[in-house]
Chains A and B, each alone.
Chain A
Amino acid sequence: MTEHTQNPLDHPEVQLANGRAYLVGFIFSMLLMTAGLWLAVTHIMAPFGTVLVTSILAGMVVIIQGYFILHMDISHAQMWHTVAMVLFLPLFVVTIGLTAWMFHGLYQRTMIMPPATSSMAHMPPMSH
């Protein structure tokens, strides 16, 4: 019954609060997300390049927020939170990656493409 014998404010998960880290996380998150918005609004790059760079920016922001704001580190207090998060990562990759891959193939094999998106739009229809 540790909660009766020690001050709960001394718990390591209370003591890890760090105002400077939260401020650093906020500033870098805002800067990188603003850069992503600027890329998307100005269309300064080709669409594929914008998608790629905004995805990389999002990945950087998530890592920054994970470290500075969610305290995903290998300290004693947070070790198992980090381990649990890392063990979930393959599940995210499988859920999103395999679904996207599977449906990408399915669309090509089964769907009638709208004229603008089909690479064979300029060809005459196949005769049977």
Chain B
Amino acid sequence: MSASAAQKVDPAQATLWARHYAGHDMIGTRTFGFWLYMLTDAMVYAALFASLGVLSHAVNLAGGPSPSAFINPIYAYGETITLFLSVLIYGYSMVALKNGNRGAVIGSMFVAMLLGIVYLVIAGVDIGNMFAHGIFPQVSGFLSIFFTIIIYHALHILVGVVWMLVMMVQIAREGFSANVIYRLINLRLFWHFQAVIWVFVFTFVYLQGMVA
């Protein structure tokens, strides 16, 4: 794994198996394992979106409101802005890590964490507004999957915020040890993956719910 990140795999030169033990790459092994874990998390989301597709059918409104009747896209758009900004600034934190700048890593991670908290506040206000209008998960099959998806995603953001807090403490205490580095890369995979999931939530739950 000592090859540079930009180097492409040449099909003519690619080796299908290693002839010699290349040494144990602890960081690469653990980030790859975590990436596989994130993909299984994506399978959970795939199951949730399959349920959304099934339960979006009009028979599952069960007399409850249709999504176009209550979705306010302003909240969802605010969540889009804060989450994408947070992902961008976490990316800048990883650029600071590349340069070995401890203060910049912690500083930008703090901003990314604050934006994650803003996201959670917006999501909380949005869900609170729906509850105040009698729109609860138990009203209909559609509302059950609607709240399951947006709350499951908000829980991921909460985990990311707590994880960033923990990593800021670990960077301050341990510096850039191999253990801290692989956790920072795993958190990057986790946090950046939440933005990809949010694209689907925003499009298929909010935008397409508005026109349904």
A residues with CB within 8 A of B: 1-3, 8-9, 11-19, 22-23, 25-26, 29-30, 33-34, 36-37, 39-41, 43, 47, 50-51, 54-55, 57-58, 61-62, 65-66, 69-71, 74-81, 84-85, 88, 91-92, 95-96, 99-100, 103, 107, 111-114, 116-117
Closest residue on chain A to residue B49 by CB atoms? A96
Whether B207 contacts A40 by the Cβ 8 Å rule is yes
Whether A69 contacts B181 by the Cβ 8 Å rule is no
Main secondary structure of the interface of B (DSSP, over half): helix
Measured between beta carbons, the chain A residues less than 8 angstroms from B177 are 8
B residues with CB within 8 A of A: 1-9, 23-28, 31-32, 35-36, 39, 42-43, 46-47, 49-51, 53-54, 57-59, 61, 73, 77, 80-81, 84-85, 87-88, 91-92, 94-95, 97-98, 100, 176-178, 181-182, 185, 189, 192-193, 195-196, 199-200, 202-204, 206-208, 210-212
Q: Give Cα distance in the complex from A75 to B31, angstroms.
A: 15
Whether B5 contacts A50 by the Cβ 8 Å rule is no
Whether B24 contacts A1 by the Cβ 8 Å rule is yes
Measured between beta carbons, the chain A residues less than 8 angstroms from B42 are 88, 92
